[in-house]
Amino acid sequence: MTVAYQLMMGNEALAHGALRAGVRVVCGYPGTPSTEALEAVAALVRTWAHKGMAGGRGEVHVEWSVNEKAALEVAAGAAFCGARALVTMKQVGLNVASDPLMTLSYLGCKGGLVLYVADDPGPISSQTEQDTRQFAAFAKVPVLDAATPEDTWRMVQEAFDLSERHRLPVIVRGTTRVCHGSAPIEPTESYVPHPTSGFEKSPQWVTFPPLAYRMHCMMPDRTRAIAQEFDQYEGNKLCAWDVKGAPRILERSVPPVPVTNGVVASGISWSYLIDALALLGSQQTSLPPLRLLKIATPYPFPEGLASTFLNGLEQVLVFEELESCIERELLALVGAKHRDVRVLGKLSGHALAAGENSIETLCRQLDVAFAPDAGAPAAPAASAAPAAALIAHADAVDLPARPPVLCAGCPHRASFAAVKKALRRRPATCSGDIGCYTLGNAWPLEMVDTCVCMGAGITVAQGMHWAQPDVAHLGFVGDSTFFASGITGVVNAVYNQVPLTLFVLDNSITAMTGAQPHPGTGIRSSYDASPDDARHAVSIPAVLFALGVRHVVECDPLDFKKAVAAATTALDYDGVSAVVFRAPCVTLATPQPPPSYDAQACTLCRSCITQLGCPALTEQDDAIQLDQSLCFGCGLCAQVCAVGALQNHEDKDGRP
């Protein structure tokens, strides 16, 4: 039978693998680079529902939870009942979910419980480069490290089996290039739910201290058992690179001899290694024959397999992204077994200490480590012949810097501009948050002084008040983040009577991660929006008032005069006050005609540019240029123009 493969991203491959494994509950919170995994599950379930197929008739529950902690707790409840459950998040989301995760490693689970956590080397879209492999070791739960989209498809199925076999959560780790890279994958065309046995009452589900102590005592034996199982795991590969004749990778069950040099890689670095060796081999470089080891199970570390790999070796080079997890495991193993093997990697300066690996960086580092005159560490920017000649093209193009900027027409620009004008040079601190609105820190808005993590803008501002009470302290939060982790900060401010001014920037979407819904929209993960959804939308002003905020104003930030007035009143209020600036993201709104420009009336005061920083506005040839391919017609520039050189057309709602 011929299988019709489909080209899928790693995130989509994971979704298909989870459904093939009979997952019953899928929860998550959007975060790049993990977002598409849950979206792909929802899309398949929706398709099956339209066709009346199994999986779409309610057998699979898919939800965007309010945050990662809630998502993991919902999934744990399903797993306690014997159902297979999947939770998706990015690496910083694991911080939020860490409270239940640490306890679940003690309690265990009944049905398979898998966490798909996507790390972001670089970082490309995150505030940290944290390594989930270290978090897995901290929580004492196994982690499978995907090197390709095919790995994610296979590993998530194996993770459910592993979780049920050992009755504990399992993490599948992706990284940006695996999550967003593509490969041909066998699609899941139909759904067969994994059997669910139901909840059985037992003291094991209640974390009293005596139980926690007993479970902690059992963990070392459990970890050793899983490590021994990983010694035989097919995803781990022991093979060789042969430079005789046509360079190729040789699969071996026993390490070839005589070879004295080895390379270990995990995750996407394994894929880079294979390509780098092919590139170097095709140019007949001076590299020696190499023994290779792919580690797909960083924790618990497969010591037996690694010990076999080390037999007869004198030098080993380790490639991994983010932290030196495998390098440290090898160093510990070499020390414990009294092996005379030199281990090179991040700690020795022979591999990149931070950021992403690439084929080019691996070529450099392989050449430096194994060249005849090897010995000196490879500096990140260094190049060494002959590998340098192969990758010179990688450094030939000096691309211009492209700083991120709020979209033309973004309502957040209007919100920040209104608050800035309302402050009127009043001393103030502005604590921001994670989202599109973090870009409010850039010129000319300069309205985000701090950004720590989701929800922290509200609480950091409170701490600043207690340290510096003679300054106004402002907190900014988005609508999705308000529900995710902002509500507790508001409660803290009301309870402790902090004179905080809170600005909720509500654009009716989780914009930065790709337009996902949230409780304020009423739309659920099926994305089948209907008029009935409005009945289920959670009102942010109502929540604020219920929490004890007595000054709550909602207004459209694109009505600039009213927005400035609302901000001014809130800043003057003695106590906790809030303004909900509500206007849709440009991905949801209908574009309006751009303003007209009268060059004769323009005095080139540039206030439209210096107050807003809209990418659609530039100055050229002694005139203001309005890029109509970028302009969304929000009308904000015309409202700040003091001489009427920019004039708005009335939109269909009559708003100038």
* Confidence (pLDDT) at 285: 65
The DSSP letter of residue 205 is: G
* Confidence (pLDDT) at 381: 38
H helix or E strand, kind and range, residue 62: strand 61-64
- Tell me the pairing of strands 551-555 and 577-582: parallel
* Confidence (pLDDT) at 388: 47
Question: How far is it, in rounded angstroms, from Cα 476 to Cα 429?
Answer: 11
pLDDT in tens, 509-565: 888 888 788 887 877 776 565 666 667 889 999 999 999 999 999 999 999 999 999
Q: Which of these ranges, 207-221, 300-314, 362-376, 571-585, has the smallest mean pLDDT?
A: 362-376
Question: How far is it, in rounded angstroms, from Cα 193 to Cα 111?
Answer: 12
Question: How far is it, in rounded angstroms, from Cα 569 to Cα 574?
Answer: 10
Q: Which of these ranges, 170-184, 340-354, 403-417, 514-528, has the smallest mean pLDDT?
A: 514-528
Question: How far is it, in rounded angstroms, from Cα 351 to Cα 365?
Answer: 7
Band of pLDDT at residue 251, cut at 50, 70 and 90: low
Identify the three-state secondary structure at position 473.
Answer: strand
Please give the domain boundaries of the chain with CATH numbers for all domains. Answer: 6-231 (3.40.50.970), 237-392 (3.40.50), 411-521+537-582 (3.40.50.970), 596-647 (3.30.70.20)
Q: For a pLDDT cut of 70, what percent of the chain falls above it?
A: 90
* Confidence (pLDDT) at 427: 94
Other Cβ atoms less than 10 A from the Cβ of 337: the count is 12
* Confidence (pLDDT) at 45: 94
Band of pLDDT at residue 3, cut at 50, 70 and 90: confident
Band of pLDDT at residue 241, cut at 50, 70 and 90: confident
The mean pLDDT of 6-10, rounded to a whole number, is 96
Residue 595 has pLDDT above 90, yes or no: yes
Predicted TM-score (pTM) of the model is 0.84
Cα–Cα distances (Å) from 645 to 30, 585, 648, 656, in that order, read 42, 27, 10, 15
Other Cβ atoms less than 10 A from the Cβ of 548: the count is 14
Query: What is the strand order of the sheet 501-506 is part of?
Result: 428-431, 472-478, 501-506, 577-582, 551-555
Band of pLDDT at residue 373, cut at 50, 70 and 90: low
Question: How far is it, in rounded angstroms, from Cα 475 to Cα 477?
Answer: 7
* Confidence (pLDDT) at 531: 64
| Sign of the Cα pseudo-torsion (425, 426, 431, 433, in order) | negative
Residue ranges with strand state E in 440-557: 472-478, 501-506, 551-555
Contacts 24+ apart (CB under 8 A), 149-152: 149/8, 149/9, 149/10, 149/12, 149/13, 149/178, 149/181, 149/182, 149/183, 149/185, 150/13, 150/183, 150/185, 151/178, 151/235, 151/296, 152/10, 152/11, 152/13, 152/14, 152/17, 152/178, 152/179
* Confidence (pLDDT) at 517: 83
Residue 420 has pLDDT above 90, yes or no: yes
Q: Which of these ranges, 180-194, 255-269, 627-641, has the smallest mean pLDDT?
A: 255-269
DSSP string, 277-319: HHHHHHTT-SPPPEEEEEES--BS--HHHHHHHHTT-SEEEEE
* Confidence (pLDDT) at 390: 47
Question: How far is it, in rounded angstroms, from Cα 591 to Cα 472?
Answer: 36
- Integer Rg of the chain from CA: 28
Question: How far is it, in rounded angstroms, from Cα 572 to Cα 585?
Answer: 29
Strand partners, 265: 294, 319
Band of pLDDT at residue 583, cut at 50, 70 and 90: very high
**Residue 445 in contact with residue 417, Cβ under 8 Å?**
yes
**Residue 451 in contact with residue 128, Cβ under 8 Å?**
no
Q: Which of these ranges, 277-286, 497-506, 560-569, 572-581, has the smallest mean pLDDT?
A: 277-286
Q: 188 φ, ψ to 5°?
A: -90, 110
The mean pLDDT of 344-359, rounded to a whole number, is 93
* Confidence (pLDDT) at 514: 82
* Confidence (pLDDT) at 529: 58
**Residue 341 in contact with residue 308, Cβ under 8 Å?**
no
Residue 100 has pLDDT above 50, yes or no: yes
Question: How far is it, in rounded angstroms, from Cα 552 to Cα 425?
Answer: 24
- Dmax (CA) for the chain in angstroms is 84
Q: What is the mean pLDDT of the chain?
A: 89
Question: How far is it, in rounded angstroms, from Cα 435 to Cα 480?
Answer: 9
The mean pLDDT of 328-342, rounded to a whole number, is 96
Residue 121 has pLDDT above 80, yes or no: yes
**Residue 323 in contact with residue 345, Cβ under 8 Å?**
no
* Confidence (pLDDT) at 151: 97
Residue 655 has pLDDT above 50, yes or no: no
* Confidence (pLDDT) at 434: 85
The mean pLDDT of 418-426, rounded to a whole number, is 95
Q: Which of these ranges, 292-296, 519-523, 524-528, 575-579, has the smallest mean pLDDT?
A: 524-528
* Confidence (pLDDT) at 207: 80
Cβ neighbours for 521, distance < 8 A, ≥ 6 positions apart: 508, 509, 533, 537
pLDDT in tens, 375-411: 544 444 333 334 444 444 444 566 677 778 899 999 9
Band of pLDDT at residue 209, cut at 50, 70 and 90: confident
**Assigned token pair, 41:** 């599950």
